[in-house]
Chain A
Amino acid sequence: MKKEIMLGNEAIARGAWEAGCHVAAGYPGTPSTEILETIAFKYRDIKAQWSPNEKVALEVAAGASVAGARALATMKHVGLNVAADPLFTFSYTGVNGGLVIINADDPGAWSSQNEQDNRHLARAAKVPMLDASSPSEAKEFTKLAFDISEKFDRPVIVRITTRVAHSQGIVNLEEKQNIPLKDFVRDPKKYVMIPAHARPRHVFIEEQIIKLKEYSTTSGLNFIEWKNKKRGIIANGVAYQYVKEVCSEDSILKIGMVWPLPDDLIKEFASQVEELYVVEELDPFIEDYVKSLGFKVKGKEIIPLCGELTPEIVDKALNGKNIESPLPAYQGVIPPRPPKLCAGCPHGFVFNILKKLDLVVNGDIGCYTLGVLPPYSAMHSQGCMGASIGMHLGFEKARGDEMARNSVAVIGDSTFIHSGITPLIDLVYNKGTGTVIIMDNRATAMTGHQENPATGKTLMGEETFELDLEMMAKACGVKRVTVVDPRDAELLEKVIKEEVAAKEPSVIITKRKCILKK
């Protein structure tokens, strides 16, 4: 069999392609971005697209599935929050063609605002979740997920973490399966979730979960590696790899399907080992479940709840091993090397002025979030995609005109399209008077300069309609809209002063291309 070294994300793209996936949609987000980029680059027979946000991406994929296609949606963990609404309801409708969602969690928050554990979302939405521990599994699981989806009429989530998405390993290459589109049958009882249809679907889902529980035990996705029975360790994801490395004498129950969990297999394992452990990153998800089955188990009392695990953390927790360094501690100070705005970055010009004017800045998510760090130190709130504008209005509602005359919201072009339009409508509708700066750098830059609806190009590189941000702001009801080149510092300062002073809503579009964008 042909082998290739692949990044976890490339392996997922390969898996989707081998599974005969027809349509793929997503929104860029580290560490998930390379999946769709690989599809667009290498597997061009899949119709792939960047959607404006993850909710739309999942809806496009769900539509494709109902229409009979095998469909993929990709996103980072916080993206699944945005897509939670369709997730919870498409769990009710189920699928026609296989529907697979790739969810990339980020333990360690390497490039995210939080460390949320999305295994909880699979459970809450009642959809199966596979959890890959390596690039080769990422490919296999993605492929298998399409089959599971069709067999059990469920959307299926494949969960990866940064350590799988951004790690490379050997992957076996197989042929592409030629999967024809399924027929689309008009079936409102299944696809139109009015209450009368939803109630019986709920019953159906619960039946499927019971079947899936059995599948979880028998499918081979979860399996036991028997060794010494003194100690048994249950582990999932990359934590399994660490356990395998540092506990080579212990029996392991490897969890590849993390929801629903395999009751019978857990019982078989737990009842045969003297001491039972769970090693998992983030929340005690498996641990709590094992406890609910009535077993005594050690987990988070020795394994950290916060942050990413590493082999030596597991080694220390389970084997009491301490690391001996051959070096004394260095007594000097090692300056950190945080990421910074590129020299000549268009955002830098804007932050120079915001700093000079000493305004309160409600920030958002993108390269420009680095405005919070020196030398600018000019950002005072930031939460999730699009939050800048809603928070900006909230600041004004709480503290009145004085606050509005001393603050701005800043948001990038892609983030504005993702989740900034509705709060801008709110700002106008509910009589806010604040200023919003849309930093239009003609790219979704932070994740690697992807195209978006305002760049006039698609993921596949085709020319398309270019969303006009100026017209969009006006359509939201903003009368004062100014477009400025941020390199013109004098003009920019004048415009910001004027617009912030004006007692009506205003939008300033600072337009200049990201210097790294081709």
Chain B
Amino acid sequence: MKNVIFAGVGGQGVILVSKILMDVALKNGFDVKESEVHGMAQRGGSVECHVRFGTEVSSPLIPKAGADYILCLELLEAMRKLEYLNKNSVLIINREQINPAPVEIGAMEYPSDIESWLKNNFPNTIIVDTGEILKEVGTKRALNVVMLGCLSRFLDFNIKDWEESISKFVKESALEQNIKAFKMGRELIA
């Protein structure tokens, strides 16, 4: 069984990419379950999606220390997911800082040592820069699909399946951009 967590901030499109991943897994004959926590309609809260696929999936929640891959679309959100890591997990983080409300109003500080702390304490951390890609793709909204591209490098599904599923969930008008974003994300992982 494979266990994938997507984490981000409301509005970053975490749920959409989890749907794409599920669709690819289903196409490849796996049982699949997902669980999402996305709070209320307002923007800006933490969002988390668990996706699991394998021969038979019972719990829709990944147990603590049970994630194979954690994809974080924002730095700080990664720090909330550490309990899901085990020594074989891979943690992929987008190097971006989005200030939560308490930081915005000056009541708290955004920790400045996240990157160095993770590098020192969890060797399987990959921090990616997506800024250039998004500029080239032409929309910041494709960040979620760039990260999906990163993930795809670790999973044994073929490109055609990915592209097909992306086209199922992304608006026609944004499809080309998203496919490009996906491919460039895939290239980000050595």
Is A375 touching B105 in the complex (CB atoms < 8 A)? yes
Q: Is the CB of B41 within 8 A of A445?
A: yes
Which of B125-143 touch A at CB < 8 Å? none
List A contacts of B82 (CB < 8 A): 325, 327, 330
CB neighbors of A among B5-46 (8 A)? 9-10, 18-19, 22-23, 26, 31-46
Residues in B with CB closer than 8 Å to A336 are: 100, 102
Supposing A5-B26, A367-B40 touch, asked if A338 and B45 sit within 8 A by C-beta, the answer is yes
Smallest CB–CB gap between B32 and chain A, Å? 6
Q: Is the CB of B60 within 8 A of A241?
A: yes
User: How far apart are the CA atoms of A376 and B168 in the complex, in Å?
Assistant: 42
Contact A167 B60 (CB under 8 A): yes
Nearest CB in chain B: distance from A32 CB, A: 14
Once the chains bind, are A370 and B76 in contact (CB under 8 Å)?
no
Q: With A and B bound together, what is the CA distance between A105 and B133 in angstroms?
A: 43
Query: CA A446 – CA B111 in complex, angstroms?
Result: 30
- B58 near A: Cβ within 8 Å? yes
Given A330-B79, A336-B100, A339-B40, check contact A242 B65 (CB 8 Å). no
CA distance A283 to B14 in the complex (A): 33
Q: Is B61 an interface residue (CB 8 A)?
A: yes
Partner of B40, one of A30, A245, A330: A30
Interface check B157, CB cutoff 8 A: no
B9 near A5 with CB under 8 A, answer no
Of residues 155 to 213 in A, which have CB atoms within 8 Å of B's CB atoms? 163, 166-170
**Cβ–Cβ contact B44 & A337, under 8 A:** yes
Confirm or deny: A311 has a beta carbon within 8 angstroms of a beta carbon on chain B: yes
* A93 at interface, CB cutoff 8 A: no
Q: Which residue of B lies closest to A321 (CB)?
A: B63
Determine the distance from Cα of A329 to Cα of B178 in the docked complex, in whole angstroms.
37
**Chain A residues with Cβ under 8 A from B39's Cβ?**
110-111, 339
* Distance of A326 Cα from B67 Cα, bound (Å): 12
**How far is the CB of B23 from the nearest CB of chain A, in Å?**
7
**Size class of the A contact interface (CB-based, 8 Å):** 35 or more
Which of B38, B42, B43, B46 gathers most chain A CB within 10 Å?
Answer: B42
Using Cβ atoms and an 8 Å threshold, which residues of chain A touch B87? 326
B interface footprint on A1-16 (CB within 8 Å = 1, 0 otherwise)? 0010100000000000
Indicate if the CB atoms of A332 and B113 lie closer than 8 Å: yes
B34 close to A167 (CB less than 8 A): yes
Q: A170-B31, A312-B63, A445-B41 are in contact. Are A334 and B79 (CB under 8 A)?
A: yes
Find B76's partner among A242, A334, A446 (CB 8 Å cutoff). A334
Instruction: Give the CA-CA distance A330 to B85 in the complex, in Å.
Output: 14
A111 and B36 alpha carbons, distance in the complex (Å): 13
A-chain residues with CB within 8 Å of residue B41 when the two chains form the complex:
367, 445-449, 516
0/1 string, B55-86, CB within 8 A of A gives 1: 00111111111100000000011011011011
Task: Write out, one digit per residue, whether chain A residues 387-398 have a CB within 8 A of any chain B CB (1) or not (0).
Answer: 000000000000
Contacts of A446 in B (CB 8 A): 40-42
Determine whether the beta carbon of B108 is less than 8 Å from that of A335.
Answer: yes
CA separation between A169 and B56, bound complex, in Å?
A: 11
Q: Is B155 an interface residue (CB 8 A)?
A: no
B interface SS class: loop
Residue of A nearest to B89 (CB): A326
CB–CB B111/A332 < 8 A: yes
Q: Is the CB of B111 within 8 A of A242?
A: no
Are the CB atoms of B59 and A335 closer together than 8 Å? no
Does B101 interact with chain A (Cβ within 8 Å)?
Answer: yes
Interfacial chain A residues near B122, Cβ < 8 Å: 326-327
Contacts of A339 in B (CB 8 A): 10, 39-40, 42-45
Question: With a CB–CB cut-off of 8 A, which chain B residues contact A312?
Answer: 63-66
Which residues on A sit within 8 Å (CB–CB) of B22? Answer: 5, 168
Interface contact A337-B40, CB-CB below 8 Å: no
Q: Which residues of B contact A340 (CB under 8 A)?
A: 42, 44-45, 101
Which residues on the A side are within 8 Å of B60 (C-beta)? 134, 163, 167-169, 238, 241
CB-CB under 8 A from A334, the residues of chain B are 76, 79-80, 111
Q: In the complex the two chains form, what is the Cα distance from A288 to B181 in whole Å? A: 55
Determine whether the beta carbon of A328 is less than 8 Å from that of B33: no
Whether A335 contacts B35 by the Cβ 8 Å rule is: no
Q: Given A311-B62, A325-B85, A336-B102, output 8 extra A-B contacts at Cβ < 8 Å.
A: A110-B39, A310-B63, A312-B65, A339-B39, A339-B45, A340-B44, A367-B40, A516-B41
Q: Please report B residues at the A interface, Cβ cutoff 8 Å.
A: 9-10, 18-19, 22-23, 26, 31-46, 57-66, 76-77, 79-80, 82-83, 85-87, 100-103, 105, 107-111, 113, 117, 121-122
Chain A contacts to B: CB under 8 angstroms: 3, 5, 30, 110-111, 134, 163, 166-170, 238, 241-242, 244-246, 310-312, 315, 323-328, 330, 332-342, 345, 367, 370, 373-375, 445-449, 516
Q: List 19 A-B contacts (CB under 8 A).
A: A5-B22, A5-B34, A167-B34, A245-B59, A310-B63, A311-B62, A311-B66, A312-B64, A326-B85, A326-B122, A327-B85, A337-B9, A337-B101, A339-B39, A339-B42, A367-B42, A373-B101, A447-B41, A449-B41
> Which 10 A-B residue pairings sit nearest by Cβ, starting from the closest?
A337-B100, A339-B45, A311-B63, A168-B34, A167-B60, A335-B108, A326-B87, A167-B35, A245-B58, A244-B58
